[in-house]
Chain A
Amino acid sequence: MSISKLKRKVDLSVEIAGIRLKNPVLTASGTFGYGQEYADFVDLNKLGGIIVKGISRTAIAGNPAPRIWETPSGMLNAIGLENPGIDVFLNEKLPYLRAFDTAVIVNIFGYSLDDYGEVAERLDGVPGISALEVNISCPNVKAGGMVFGTDLNATAALLTAVRKKTSLPLIAKLSPNVTDPVAFAKAAHDAGCDGLSLINTLLGMAIDVRTRKPRLANITGGLSGPAIRPVAVRIVWQVARAVPLPIIGMGGIVTAEDALEFMLAGASAVAIGTANFINPRAALDVLDGIESTMTEQGISEIRTIVGKVNIS
């Protein structure tokens, strides 16, 4: 075998929110279940990490159908945060995931500060959990259903409350549906978060012109997929240069090139979401592509490209 055919060893490891990931590719919350459904297609051991479907204090049935609607280069979803609740997660889902050599990040949510706090508290110190990702884009039922993540004060209060309940690394998943994402990122930093997930879905809607009804039972839903990537890259870039927190970049990543775009913008790691639906092996294909690019371009450590977008 000639020397040129030997793959040069590259270092794909990154550190984010105090966790060392063996590579920067994770799967995004809500798109990979709790891992088991994909295990037949994907070697979970190869992933940098899995961010599981959001967990709440009690089981949630979710919204009536239609829950999804395809859009150009994307899709709307209003699943309704269906999940089996924290007890089932701890008793069934987490033990399954612990068997794999991949970081497990638990996405959590609730409808009041108490909800969030209780979930965070119960997950604190549980072996096998690398970090918590806090979904702040939920309505606060104690405040008339106003969404936490689009109100700066509510966001700060929420993250401060969660911070008190856990010593696990805390990653705030921010909403892009705000005028100034940097302000929210700063609030997360001030509240003691260790990292940021950017971005959650864009708020969207579709209407059937024949029936004149919304396509989703919930009327509005979250837009994801390649269509939102430029928005996500922009927000990653804006936040990375203003706030000293490591970022997991996500929003329409399909190829290795997309992932590298996010890293150049300032993300230390990336999460693959909607792409999993069109190719269950998307995350591993992205990982392979990053590795190939590194070899081609002579990049020996992936962490060295973080934030290196060239703006003269």
Chain B
Amino acid sequence: MLRVSETMDPILARPFGISSIISKRSLELVYNTVGKGTNMLSRLEPGRMLDMLGPLGNGFSMPEKGEIPVLIAGGCGFPPLHFLSIKFARRKIKSHVFIGAKDRRHLPPPFIMNGFKKNLCSIHLATEDGSAGTRGLVTQLVSKSLQTTGTGDERRPVLYACGPRAMLAAVAALAAEHSVTCYVSMEERMACGMGACMGCAVPVRRGGYKRVCKDGPIFRAEEIAWSESDLTNPSSVAQCCSHAVDAIPS
């Protein structure tokens, strides 16, 4: 959780996935300017010290023996996968990286792409307008690739996905269809970032919610209720303040 401002506006710290560790006192975060917090961050002068709380939450699990990692990045989901690729490279694990973007201008920056290449990754690109790589969604590219994965002496893919919620849901569906292990890095608005406020709740299949900040951000894809129909026990999800529009918690 990074404090982007010393003022009360914006008041909350911002959650970021780590892209790499630079030294004992600095790490690399890569972000898009999407709102107040990230815009403020982008205007800070180099050398400025920021307050940060971390590391928080869990991490990606290592692949099992005989599994080949398939990293799937959409939107600004590539930083944690870049970090993961560093870990794989250290263990001499080769992996595939599928990167999706709107167009070539929205692909990860060169230092990230070079990082993936350096980290023993085979890169597969998909842009919606076809200006780089294959035309279409990254999930379409992944789907094709999973279909052509034979059995026999081919290693089983294990998916690691980070990106927009809709992309994660699509990857989860692909994983289920092909019966492969899939880890997703979830995102949700956060306040405390440490599991106390219950703000960053994501619905889970068996009913109720888990906290992205503390129980995640990494979840097995099949744990998440991607849509209402995924809930195995919808009646267990008790609604509180929908009873009365003017009720207030706590």
Contacts and interface: CB of A to CB of B under 8 A. Distances in A.
A107 B250 CA distance: 8
A127 B150 CA distance: 63
B206 to A, nearest CB: 11
A80 B239 contact: yes
16 contacts: A62-B208, A62-B240, A65-B189, A67-B200, A68-B191, A70-B10, A78-B241, A79-B201, A82-B198, A82-B201, A137-B247, A137-B249, A146-B244, A225-B11, A277-B12, A277-B197
A81 B198 CA distance: 9
A138 B247 contact: yes
A67 B250 contact: no
Nearest to A150: B246
A74 B246 contact: no
B75 interface: no
- What are the 10 A-B residue pairs with the smallest beta carbon separation, nearest first? A139-B244, A30-B250, A33-B196, A68-B199, A73-B8, A145-B244, A80-B240, A61-B208, A139-B243, A37-B196
A141 to B, nearest CB: 6
Given A64-B201, A278-B12, 17 more contacts: A30-B250, A37-B195, A38-B196, A65-B209, A75-B12, A78-B241, A79-B198, A82-B201, A146-B244, A150-B246, A203-B248, A218-B241, A221-B249, A226-B11, A277-B12, A277-B193, A278-B13
A203 B196 contact: no
B151 interface: no
Most chain A beta carbons < 10 A, residue from B190, B196, B203, B237: B196
Contact of A67 (B12, B189, B247): B189
B192 interface: yes
Contacts of A31: 192, 196-197
B9 interface: yes
A225 B196 CA distance: 16
Counting chain B residues whose Cβ lies within 8 A of the other chain, the interface size class is 35 or more
A201 B250 contact: yes
Most chain A beta carbons < 10 A, residue from B188, B239, B240, B246: B240
A37 B215 CA distance: 12
B124 interface: no
A30 B197 contact: yes
Contact of A54 (B3, B209, B241, B250): B250
B53 interface: yes
Interface of B: 3, 8-13, 53, 188-203, 207-209, 214, 236-250
A137 B11 contact: no
Nearest to A201: B248
Contacts of A33: 195-197
Interface string A124-139: 0000000000010111
A280 B238 CA distance: 30
Interface in A236-290: 254, 274, 276-278, 280
Contacts of B239: 63, 80
Most chain B beta carbons < 10 A, residue from A80, A150, A254: A80
Contacts of B202: 65
Contacts of B203: 64-65
Main SS of chain A's interface residues? loop
A81 B237 contact: no
A141 B240 CA distance: 10
Counting chain A residues whose Cβ lies within 8 A of the other chain, the interface size class is 35 or more
A62 B3 contact: no
A274 B197 CA distance: 9
Contacts of A70: 10-12, 189
A147 B246 contact: yes
Given A63-B239, A277-B12, A177 B246 contact: yes
A111 interface: yes
A298 interface: no
A220 interface: yes
A131 B32 CA distance: 47
Contacts of B207: 61
Nearest to B236: A61
A247 to B, nearest CB: 18
Contacts of A64: 201, 203
A70 B244 CA distance: 22
Nearest to B36: A70
Given A225-B8, A280-B53, A139 B247 contact: yes
B8 A254 contact: yes
Contacts of A280: 53, 192, 194
B237 A61 contact: yes
B241 A65 contact: no
A168 to B, nearest CB: 19
B242 A63 contact: yes
A60 interface: yes
